[in-house]
Chains A and B, each alone.
Chain A
Amino acid sequence: KQEVTQIPAALSVPEGENLVLNCSFTDSAIYNLQWFRQDPGKGLTSLLLIQSSQREQTSGRLNASLDKSSGRSTLYIAASQPGDSATYLCAVNSGYSTLTFGKGTMLLVSP
């Protein structure tokens, strides 16, 4: 059974800092990994999707890497802003486009 763990559970940083969120998964037989953002009480916004054959994906200030063999992914956020405050969820697709999610990292960026 696939299990996804995210560390840290919560993170508080001052504006402008670069930060790294971590995600690990127990079964390396995945098709892709996706990072989502969730604002309080809201749905999910897809940030980055990395296919199993890829090593990383970039979008603006976000960079996600994938090491499938070791079961790890990181989401790097450069020059953090207060608007980045949200919960970040990592999810792996192990088949049939069903996703297994971690519990998320709650990020607070203070001005």
Chain B
Amino acid sequence: ETGVTQSPTHLIKTRGQQVTLRCSSQSGHNTVSWYQQALGQGPQFIFQYYREEENGRGNFPPRFSGLQFPNYSSELNVNALELDDSALYLCASSLEAGELDTQYFGPGTRLTVL
């Protein structure tokens, strides 16, 4: 059991709406990363937060944004939802942002955009 939790488990939205996904990292983990996994694909890196600051970003548009809070929780916000945003969203936490830090993944949130 990794100790990383995500909510909600499943979510259905319509195109153009906004959504907030939540992640609770393991206690003491200062880094959280978010990934998008489309059906039949490997996870794609969205962005990473370290001590409440964005610490790296993948090839995703600005309508994907995030927040990290001092209590080891974080959010992924997606504005103006598109059909292609339908995917499994995974968060992963690690102690620090160093090269040797192991990431621990949560169970994911399945987002469906209609």
* A51 to B42 Cα, complex, angstroms: 21
Q: Smallest CB–CB gap between A31 and chain B, Å?
A: 4
Interface flags, A34-45, vs B, CB<8A=1, else 0: 101000011111
From A62-70, A72-80, A101-109, give the one contacting chain B. A101-109
* A47 to B105 Cα, complex, angstroms: 12
User: How many residues of chain B get a CB closer than 8 Å to chain A's CBs?
Assistant: 32
Please name all residues of chain A whose beta carbon is closer than 8 Å to the beta carbon of B48 when the two chains form the complex: 96-98
Please name all residues of chain B whose beta carbon is closer than 8 Å to the beta carbon of A49 when the two chains form the complex: 102
Q: Counting CB contacts under 8 A, is B66 at the interface?
A: no
* A97 to B81 Cα, complex, angstroms: 28
User: How many residues of chain A get a CB closer than 8 Å to chain B's CBs?
Assistant: 26
DSSP majority for the A interface?
Answer: strand
| Cβ 8 A contact of B90, one of A43, A51, A100, A103 | A43
| Cβ 8 A contact of A98, one of B56, B96, B104 | B56
B interface residue numbers (CB < 8 A to A): 6, 31, 33, 35, 40-45, 48, 55-56, 58, 88, 90, 92, 94, 96-108, 110
- 25 A–B contacts, CB within 8 A, in A order: A31-B99, A31-B100, A36-B105, A41-B88, A42-B107, A42-B108, A43-B105, A45-B105, A46-B105, A51-B100, A91-B42, A95-B99, A96-B55, A96-B56, A96-B97, A97-B48, A97-B94, A98-B33, A98-B45, A98-B48, A99-B33, A99-B35, A99-B43, A99-B103, A102-B42
